[in-house]
Structure 1
Amino acid sequence: MHAVNGDLYHREREISLLQEVIAGLALGRPAVVTVHGPRGMGKSALLNVVPRLLPEGALVLRARCHPSESGFPYSMVRQLFDPVLGAAGRGETFIPAEAHGSSGEAAGPTHEALLHLLSTTRSLAADRPVAVLVDDLQYADEPSLRWFSYIARRLDDLPVLLAATLPDSAAARLTEELGPLPYLNRLWPEPLCSTCTTELVDRAFDSPVDQGLAALCDALAHGNPMVLHDLVNRLRREHVPPGAPDPQQVLPIGAQALSETVLAWLDEDDPAAGELLTQLAVLGPDTDPAMCGALSQHGEVQVLQARDALVRAGLLEAGPPARFPHAAVRPAVLARVPAEDRLHLHGRAATVLARLGAPARQTAEHLVKAGCEWGLDVLRDAGAQAAAAGDHASAARYLRRALALLDGPPPGDASAPERPGETPHAETFHELTVRLASVELHRDLDACARQTVAAADSAPGPVGRAEVLARLASPALVASLEGAQPFVRACGELAALAAPPREPLLRLTAQALLTGHRAGVRAAARLAARGPLDPAARSFSGALAAAAAATGRTGTAQRLAARVEVAQGAAQEAVTAGWPAGPIGAALALIWTGAPAAARDLATRVLTTARAADDGATVLLARLVRAEAHHREGRFSTAYADAEAGLALARRLNAAALTSAALSCAARALVGLDRADDAAEVLREDRSAGDLHPFVRALSLQARGEVAAARGDHTAALGLFLDCGHRLALRGITNPACLPWRTQAARAYRALGEEAAAATILNGGPRTPAVTPHPASAPHDPERPTLTPAEQRVVELVLRGHSSLEVSERLFLSKRTVDTHLGRVYRKLGIHSRHELAAALSTP
């Protein structure tokens, strides 16, 4: 549809009606026209068209009402008649004196005053048509409003057009009074259609605009011409290109236009609708009307009326449920709500919901957003519900807030605020910490490690600590030293008991074995042998298989790995029951004992089961194990695909150590695909700290060495491969099949022309001392003493500046054992203190 009279769009029907009633004035037919609708819909623009449609010589009387003038009697009438009567120089008023009290205040319109005004109107219309146009009639003073109704019912023989604009909310009273009039016409201007919106936007930009921009303007303005004009003007001021706009640039501008036009109108015209809109923006558009009524202390009927007003204004879709018509509306409303008011509204909603017995999660959302100092029971229940539904992010939020409340007044403290819906409870810091750690296991492994340490420290006694850690035992946690420590300590404590509980000991021992420690192995082996081959026993067997394979005991490792799959679906059963250490350990053992195909199949079954059980940590481990199996089989493309999938999951689970492992697996696969430069780029993302499992650190060093060798830097590659071997030796991983660093170091030696060194390293020649060897180091001195792996681990930490006590804590040894190792090292090297250690080791 095209513009009418140059500046109106989509108003053909309304213009046609106005033309019809104005044509009737020449025949002595009066007309009363009321134009209804929300602000900005073009009511005043229609009124402005009337003078251009009138015949020449017609008299136009105009008035615009305002709330500030509603207390002055006849202010609207004076606006209408002063220009024609006040300028006549008669020196007399057309408002009779009887219309005023003695003090000059309004005494109400008398019948004589109304007759006098009617007579004045008749005299003005005696020889020409008269159009009386009133904007915003709802703000007229009471005498003027009474006059409007009075004269509208007495126009039968006068060529008078009486037209006024007013919103729908103020039309009821006038409609009741004027309803029977045969010459009454009501107009409701419709929202602009999309075609008219496009034409108007094209005209504003003076060029055809992108259809996406036109559609976005139509959605934001919801057909309101004034909002559309304001929006287009803002877009032009911000220099938004009409041909290729960025929606992310347009949306904030549209939100601002809404907030400064329609929303401001609501505050003036319909405060109840504005209040409801604020509530729906803060609390969510699906909030029940009864809740909004309780928050605003309005009745449900009034809330529903306000909701209808919002629908008419285009700020809500007709429900239920009520939804915002466009994503920009809610941010626009929220931008106008002070933070203090938001907090108050959320807190009030939490109180009302708790009293109404609403679902815990619904109440907890408002508790968290308001920062209320009550609601421990609600938050705890909401955390359990969210975790059961798989919404671990929300569960963590609720439980963290519950833990924060423990710092506040106790539930029975008289100074504490009222706690609606809360009952006395015995929830402790320890119990909440365990709950939070269980949730973080599904979403943030590094946070889970920290919470696991806190849960272990707050547990009551060795058995209680073991039971807690058994619930949290996941092989993914032991990839970092922080995550491994509580399991190793608790395992040692539990094994020292006269009658340790079977399942916790087997589970903790499996965790400890995967860290490279053998705390509790003997006691766990005895319990596993005496009991059935259940998931607990298979979990222990799988981890023990990995430990055996790491030290080169191939036969033992294969026998133990076979126990994990002794029954059909045993691996799936173990993962479903929460015992993933067994299948993961067995798969590693199979890889390290030369059976990568069997390991791949086992990892695939674990992956499928863990995915179905929503166990992201085990899915991640299965991905990395399968990537390693593919790599051993020479399937570098599939190895890279698994590593990439594992990397994405490791980042999502915030697992720094396993992210490093995934990056290393991806880089090694890229080297196998002859993409060494891409592999180097991948490894630049590895910024992991030193808190890594020694095998993960060694894997990273090996991957860097492979990349360096592939790019021709054999000197750097040799240093990395030798450092990799050193890291493995520190944890007692002696099987060359775990990571083939010796073969790779020999290749680097040969590339550097060191054939003798290559032969020595391949033959498992003398070990290097506990310092990182230099690739250009001199041939090994056969008279130089050799340190055992245990002594090398102790010496390395001492050289880093750690005390004997700190070394014992990091290696999970007693201080006495550390001192014994140091004494042996001193005797071998012929020194007397740790201050001489560095010099003795660096002496050729």
Structure 2
Amino acid sequence: MAPLLHRDRELAVFREALDELRAGRPTVAAILGGNGMGKSSLLGAMTEMLPPRSLVLRARCHPSESHFAYGMVRQLFDPVMSAGERPRGRFDHAAADDDGAATQDLLISLFHMTRDLVAEQPVVIAIDDLSFADTPSLRWFSYIARRLDDLPVMMIATLPGSPPAGLGTDLAKLPYARFVQLRPFCATCTADFVAEALGAPPDVELAALCHTLSQGNPLVLRQLTSRMRQARISPGEPDPDQVLEVGTAALSATVLEWLHDHDPVAYELLTQLAVMGPDTDVTVAAILLSQGEPQIRQARRALAQAGLITAGPPVRFHNPLIRTAVLSRIDNQTRLGLHERGAALLARLGAPAAQTAEHLMLTDSDWGVPVLRRAATEAVAAREYDDATRYLRRALACSDDPATIHELTLQLGTVELRHDLDACVRHAETLVSTAPDPVRRARSLLNLASPALVASTVGVRPFVTVAHELAGMADPPREPLLRLTAQGVLSGYRAGLRRSVRMASSGVPDSAAKELAGALAAMVAASGRHPGTARRLAARACRERSRRDRPAGTGLVGAALAFGWTGRPEEALAVCDRILQDARTWDQPDLHALGLLLRADIGHRRGDSDDSLRDALDAREGAERIGARVLTTAARACGARALIRMGRTRDAAELVREMTMPADAHPLIKSLILEVQGLIAAAAGDHVTALSLFLDCGHRLSARGITNPACLPWRAHAAKAYNALGEHTAARTIAAEPAASPEHAPDARPAQAQILLTPAEQRVVELVRQGMSSMEVAERLCLSKRTIDTHLGRIYRKLGIRGRHQLAAALGP
């Protein structure tokens, strides 16, 4: 009785019809429902409930018999006539017209036959799949149904969705007509069905998944549970992926198989819609199918009645799994051909480039590069950078022309500047290697000249290379040289600097000169020697610009750093706000993440730990979104530094627990990471490790010429570590400025040097003076080579020397 779940209302209508039959009154009942909804099962259950004396005439229609005139009528009456019951009427096929249409005499004869049969007993005419009946039989059905007044006749027919137009109109006018619309199983009935089929109550999620897959269709549900039993899927602990796979196969074996056999045009339309996508215009599918509008309209109606697609517009699949099941029935070669035909038609019809591009992505055609580029441009305008990247990569794979490859690489780089910063770095290097001359390389790189790339030594390398090439030219273009030089200067490189400064000072103070001024301001401020000059250069970089100027990212970033390092945090904060405003206006997420990182650093300098932490976390989120590893690491370090100042050392350690130092990070960012790690170690009481980290921090900064204590106060941190270790003399020394050079005080150096060195440093010095290498000293003292190198670096700074060859002169005998 499982197929009759959720059928109480329909059976109640049938019981009312039975009462009418027993009272000698007629009934015409139409059971409506899509394929697999249980129409035949309900019809069979109804005939089993008939009174024992009833005469049941049965017929089952099939599309293959629809061209045989009166085929359905013969199924109904042949058993009666062969049994010897000869009613007064006569079934004479010769009475039909040549075209198969029933004549009035024939219809009257058939009516008399029916009336004679009900003289002694009620008659039930049960017809399955009436919509597949031949045309003369349908006319007979309508003719008889309209003339049943006061006759004990029940006519029951199953129909998909709705009756044919003429028949439906005739039946709707009859007072004794009843229409029973079968509905899908509800979620509760589906769960009961699955429980009975699997022999155990299903998991709640499994019941819900079965209902979603079957959409309450009994036929699909029966096939689904049967396959689940074969796959031995446990109803208590199911595997959702396995159930989805089984559900796809069940849909293919039931609804789609039936559609393939009974309505080829509708099946082809469904296949075309599945390939082209759910939002495809049905007209496009009709053109691809080479079918007329009436056929497509009928096929679309059949698909909607079967519950496969919505009536639309737009046309969509009722269940996304239907599309999966349809596509699984198509071999790869056929699918590629359908996608290529669809893409070509959409291109000719002027469809949106993205729609055409989605089909080109699934083919091996090479004619669609312009379409893919146009689709990428539209995707960028909609900020759909993932799609733009996909289209451009596919276009690159299809291209062989070097000039086109260069243009596509440039376009892809500008997209990934907003989407995947590390990939943008790789494309910048490709542009340098594929452009035919330095000027072309420079103009291409200008589109990628973001200060966010400066955070990586690999990212700044293409700009430094091309700036050096331009500086060597007799007449280099002004704007590319100044901008690319500024990009390198911001990272500490001086390629093309002298030539650029001369060009900037002799020309008008345009936006390129302002960018160079900002980068120079940061370089001067990092040295700590001329703070006034740094501030003047920073102010020049912040001057108002015209609307035609591109956002001065490099110049403003350099100005913000310069103001922050020269004791002007308020002015630095104002510049950061300008950077963030430019980033929002010009849609530059890379500049926005960098601006938040700078503002977090300024907030830390101003003592606003809460604001600094918030900006650092926002910067980390933005950097992660664009795939900027170095900026993400720097933002986490800034956030941890703010947490440490707030006394939340444990939270800071958790924030940087799995953080690794990028090998290509800017030395300033590496030093920031070392500073944070040292502060966490010092808070945990490990002052030896903290001291080593602080000294390493100072070494990296000094190697790049960053000697301004305002950049990172590593000396103050190291002095605290020395004091915690009881080495107060070393603390005072490291906190002070570097000592005078040896030639200024030759007599005092050896004695003073001996006092400055700690016992541990003196042991290292003794072994080094014996000619041992750093590795041999490390083995002798049971330390790591890195620790020995750190000791040596500290010794050299205390003595004001550059290497071990000067130890003897600095220490004396």
Could you tell me how far apart the structure 2 residues matched to 1:220 and 1:633 are?
60
Counterpart pick for 1:187 among 174, 179, 195: 179
Q: CA deviation at 1:159?
A: 3.4
Seen in structure 2, the aligned counterparts of structure 1 residues 10 and 182 have a Cα distance that, compared at 3 Å, is: same
Query: What pairs up with 1:627-642 in 2 under 5 angstroms?
Result: 627-642=600-615
**Which of 545, 548, 552 in structure 1 is aligned with 2:528?**
552
Q: What one-letter code is carried by the residue in structure 1 that aligns with 2:53?
A: G
Find the residue that maps to 1:370 and give its secondary structure. Answer: coil
Matched, 1:443 2:435: no
Distance, in Å, in 2 between the alignment partners of 1:119 and 1:497 is 109
Offset from partner CA, 1:742-770 (integer Å, 9 cap, x none): 22122222222222332332234579xxx
Moved more, 199-208 or 464-473: 199-208
1:38 aligns with 34
Matched, 1:136 2:129: yes
What residue is the counterpart of 1:807 in the other structure?
none
2:471 aligned residue:
495
Aligned to 2:390: 397
Rounded Cα–Cα distance in structure 2 between residues aligned with 1:694 and 1:581:
18
Sort the Cα spacing of 1:256 and 1:644 in 2 relative to 1 into closer, same or farther, 3 A: farther
More off after superposition, 488-497 vs 741-750: 741-750
1:602 and 2:602 matched: no
The one-letter code matched in structure 2 to 1:51 is T
Q: CA deviation at 1:687?
A: 3.6
Q: Please, which of 428, 438, 441 is the counterpart of residue 462 of structure 1?
A: 438
Does 2:47 match 1:51?
yes
Distance 1:328 1:61 in 2: 40
The yes-or-no answer on 1:323 pairing with 2:308 is: no
In structure 1, what residue type is equivalent to 2:7? Answer: Y
Shift of 1:521: 1.6
Matches within 5 A, 1:578-593: 578-593=551-566
Q: Secondary structure at the match of 1:515?
A: coil
Provide the rounded CA distance (Å) in 1 between the counterparts of 2:628 and 2:208.
44
RMSD between superposed Cα atoms in Å: 4.7
Aligned to 2:620: 647
Residue 545 of structure 1 aligns to a residue whose secondary structure is helix
| Counterpart AA for 1:404 | A
Query: How far did residue 278 of structure 1 move?
Result: 3.2
Q: In the alignment, which of 161, 186, 194 is matched to residue 197 of structure 1?
A: 186
Q: 1:547 Cα deviation (Å)?
A: 0.5
Q: Deviations over 1:123-145 (max 9, x none)?
A: 76442213232322455689988
How has the CA–CA distance of structure 1 residues 389 and 71 changed in structure 2, closer, same or farther, with 3 Å as cutoff? Answer: closer
Shift in Å at residue 718 of structure 1? 1.8
Q: Is the 8 A contact 1:715 1:775 kept in 2?
A: no
Offset of 1:315 from its aligned partner? 3.4
Q: Distance in 2 between matches of 1:5 and 1:255?
A: 21
Residue of structure 2 aligned with 1:279, choices 245, 267, 272: 272
3-state SS of 1:428 partner: helix
Query: Does 1:484 pair with 2:457?
Result: no
CA distance in 1, matches of 2:389, 2:547: 28
Aligned mate of 2:380, from 382, 387, 390: 387
Match of 1:162 among 151, 155, 158: 155
Q: In the TM superposition, what is the alpha-carbon distance from 1:349 to its structure 2 partner?
A: 1.1
Summarize the Cα distance change of 1:75–1:393 in structure 2 as closer, same or farther, 3 Å threshold: same
Partner residue in 2 for 1:818? none
Counterpart-to-counterpart distance in 1, 2:299 and 2:132 = 20
* Preserved contact between residue 535 and residue 573 of structure 1 (Cα < 8 Å): no
Per-residue CA deviations over 1:39-68 (Å, capped at 9, x if unaligned) read 233423442343355334223344545568
* Matching residue of 2:786: none
- After superposition, the C-alpha distances for 1:300-356 in whole angstroms (9 at most, x for unaligned) are 343333333333333333432233445555445545554444433221111101222
Q: Which residue of 1 aligns with 2:342?
A: 349
Q: Map of 1:164-563 to 2, 5 A cutoff?
A: 164-168=157-161, 171=164, 185=177, 187-191=179-183, 197=186, 200-201=189-190, 203-204=192-193, 224=217, 226=219, 261-325=254-318, 329-407=322-400, 428-553=404-529, 554-563=531-540
CA distance in 1, matches of 2:291, 2:470: 62
CA–CA separation in structure 1 for the residues paired with 2:377 and 2:4:
64
Report the Cα offset of residue 111 of structure 1: 13
What whole-Å deviation, never above 9, does each CA across 1:234-290 have from its counterpart, x for those lacking one?
Answer: 999856679xx9999998887676555444443344333333333333333221222
8 Å contact from structure 2 (residues 419, 625) kept in 1:
yes
Q: Is the contact between residue 34 and residue 307 of structure 2 (CA under 8 Å) also seen in structure 1?
A: no
In structure 2, distance between residues paired with 1:154 and 1:735: 107
Residue 613 (structure 1) aligned with residue 589 (structure 2) = no
Question: How far did 1:22 drift?
Answer: 3.7
What are the Cα deviations for residues 760-785 of structure 1, in whole angstroms up to 9, with x where unaligned?
A: 32234579xxxxx9996547859999
Which one is further off, 275-284 or 468-477?
Answer: 275-284
Counterpart amino acid of 2:443?
E
Q: Distance in 1 between matches of 2:161 and 2:305?
A: 10
TM-fit CA distance, 1:153: 7.9
Instruction: Quote the residue 1:744 is aligned against.
Output: 717
How far, CA to CA, are the matches of 2:428 and 2:285 in structure 1? 42
Q: How many pairs align?
A: 746
| Aligned match for 2:732, one of 756, 759, 769 | 759
Q: Give 5+ residue unaligned stretches, structure 2.
A: 95-99, 741-756, 770-801, 807-812
Distance 1:483 1:198, change over 3 A: closer
Q: Report deviation, 1:535.
A: 1.9
CA contact (8 A) 2:613 2:643 kept: yes
What is the CA–CA distance in structure 1 between the aligned matches of 2:182 and 2:172, rounded to whole Å?
A: 25
AA of the residue aligned to 1:59: L
Distance 1:400 1:180 in 2: 60
**What residue number does 2:743 align with?**
none
- Decide whether the 8 Å contact of 1:430 with 1:455 is kept in 2: yes
Shift of 1:35: 2.8
State the SS of the aligned residue for 2:155.
strand
> How many angstroms apart in 1 are the aligned matches of 2:210 and 2:132?
32
Alignment of 1:763-842 (within 5 A): 763-765=736-738, 777-778=761-762
The CA deviation at 1:118 is: 8.3
C-alpha deviation, 1:548, in angstroms: 0.6
Whole-angstrom CA distance in 1 between matches of 2:726 and 2:356: 72
Task: Summarize deviations over 1:566-602 as a string: whole Å, max 9, x none.
Answer: 44xx5x979x713200110111112222222322222
Instruction: Check conservation: 2:413, 2:424, Cα contact below 8 A.
Output: yes
Distance in structure 1 (CA, Å) of the matches to 2:19 and 2:279: 50
Q: How much has 1:625 moved relative to structure 2?
A: 0.6
TM-score by length of 2: 0.79
Tell me if the contact between 1:716 and 1:775 (Cα under 8 Å) persists in the aligned partners: no
Counterpart code for 1:700: I
Deviation at 1:403, TM superposition (A): 1.6
SS where residue 292 of structure 1 aligns?
A: helix
Q: Distance in 1 between matches of 2:3 and 2:660?
A: 68
1:30/1:183 contact within 8 Å kept: no
CA distance 1:312–1:167, change in 2 (3 Å): closer
Residues in 1 aligned to 2:758 and 2:467: alpha-carbon distance in whole angstroms: 38
Deviation at 1:496, TM superposition (A): 2.0
**Pair 227,292 (structure 1): closer, same or farther in 2 beyond 3 Å:** same
Shift in CA distance, 500/8, structure 1 to aligned 2, threshold 3 Å: closer
Q: Cα 1:727–1:301, aligned 2, differ >3 Å: closer, same or farther?
A: farther
The answer on whether the counterparts of 1:98 and 1:110 sit within 8 Å (CA) in structure 2 is: no
- Which of 632, 635, 638 is matched with 1:665 structurally? 638
Report if the CA contact (8 A) 2:419-2:627 is conserved.
yes
Q: Secondary structure at the match of 2:33?
A: coil
Q: Which amino acid aligns with 2:32?
A: H
